[in-house]
Amino acid sequence: MNVSHFPERRGFAGHFLVQVGRALLILWGAFTLTFILLQMMPGDAVMIRFMDPELGLSPEQIETMRVLYSGSSNPVFQYFHTLWQVLHGNFGYSVQLGVPVGKLLSTALPVTLRLAGVGFLLSLVWTLAIAVGASLLPLRALRQAVHALPGLWSAIPLYWSGILIIQVLSFRLHLLPVVGVGAWEGVLLPGLAVSLPVAAPQAKLLLQQIEETERLPFVMASRTRGASRVSVFFRHILPNSVIPSLTMAGLSLGELIAGAIVTETVFGLNGLGQMTRDAVSGQDVAVLQAVVLIGAAGFVGANLAVDLLIPLIDPTLRMSHRIGGGKSGS
């Protein structure tokens, strides 16, 4: 983010509070936006489901269902009603399945969070490995090959890489079966599939940043003092280059949740993705709204976490703190 990380007048706590407020505002905005959008639904999803002649419901019964599922037909009342409910962790009913969305979430969310977690960790590993490989590998051709990986990965369709991984790792090499495995083994391969496109922009940014840091005078200075390539890289170049891609990693958490939708389809996992697909096919508005809010929450939450972490990692910020002066960042 291009927000300055340490404005002089507010301390870190103040700065963090402002960021929390901003995050809450964005979540509220996301709620409002999805509410407005989904109010525009052509035809009432409730009606579509219950007007099915096979159910043989009378108009009165349909009206009862309508009130039960959507509260009231007054949009302003409904907005505040829904907002109040969501604030209490109640995301309403799935029109399609007739169960509370919260109940669906309680089984689906852990699967997706595991998948996103594994994908996120692997993407960090890839990013670091690419940075190290592109800088320290012995042959110039090898370094260039590693350098080209992020560009390649960013163009890979997510579901396709998943399918390739199944074909190669499961069917050909029999490394890991796709079905009938435990909760964590089950998300390893999908996590690997998700990690590639997520790592791509992070790694690209880190490589750019490393190139810039390498040109700074203090790097030259430590080289001339006789420090080895490896030690200069790990002690000076990497710590001074890692911040922008850390911010990028924060931004990618929402994308990870979105990527899970596609990946879960490929690997047949019953998580948020499966839930979302069913919701879109069945015009299940409440479910989709919950998923969108979770996606947005992942995004703003990760941003907050990165905001907290950056002062601990950024050497220039640590330094300015030790000296006692604030730093108006760029």
Partner 1 sequence: MKRFSIPSPLSVLSAIVIGICVVAILWPSALTSGDPATGVAPEHLLPPDSAHWCGTDQLGRDVLTRIIYGARETLPAAFVATMTGIVLGSVIGGFAALSGPAVDTLLSGVIDVLLAIPELLLALTVVILTGFGPVHAALAVGISQTAGFARIVRNLVRTLRSQTYVEAARLSGTGFWGIVGWHILPNTFRPLLGMGILRYATAILSLATLGFLGYSAPPPTPEWGLMISEGRDYLATAWWMTTFPGLALLTVALAANRLSQAMTNAGEERP
Contact residues toward partner 1 (CB under 8 A) are: 25-27, 29-30, 33-34, 37-38, 40-42, 151-152, 154-160, 163-164, 166-167, 171, 254-255, 257-259, 261-262, 265-266, 276-277, 279-281, 283, 285, 288, 291-292, 295-296, 299-300
Q: In whole angstroms, what is the distance from residue 189 CA to residue 194 CA?
A: 9
Query: Least distance (Å) from partner 1 to the CB of residue 22?
Result: 8
Nearest to 300 by CA among 1, 15, 24, 17: 24
Residue 150 near residue 144, CB atoms below 8 Å: no
Q: In whole angstroms, what is the distance from residue 14 CA to residue 29 CA?
A: 23
Cβ proximity to partner 1: between 243 and 290 the closer is 290
Residue 89 CA from chain centroid, whole number: 21
Cβ proximity to partner 1: between 158 and 243 the closer is 158
Query: Least distance (Å) from partner 1 to the CB of residue 19?
Result: 13
Query: Least distance (Å) from partner 1 to the CB of residue 291?
Result: 6
Nearest to 129 by CA among 146, 154, 152, 148: 146
Cβ proximity to partner 1: between 250 and 317 the closer is 250
Nearest to 114 by CA among 3, 194, 233: 194
Q: Where are the beta strands (DSSP E) in the chain?
A: none
Query: Least distance (Å) from partner 1 to the CB of residue 281?
Result: 8
Cβ proximity to partner 1: between 302 and 317 the closer is 302
Query: Least distance (Å) from partner 1 to the CB of residue 286?
Result: 11
Residue 250 near residue 306, CB atoms below 8 Å: yes
Cβ proximity to partner 1: between 191 and 298 the closer is 298
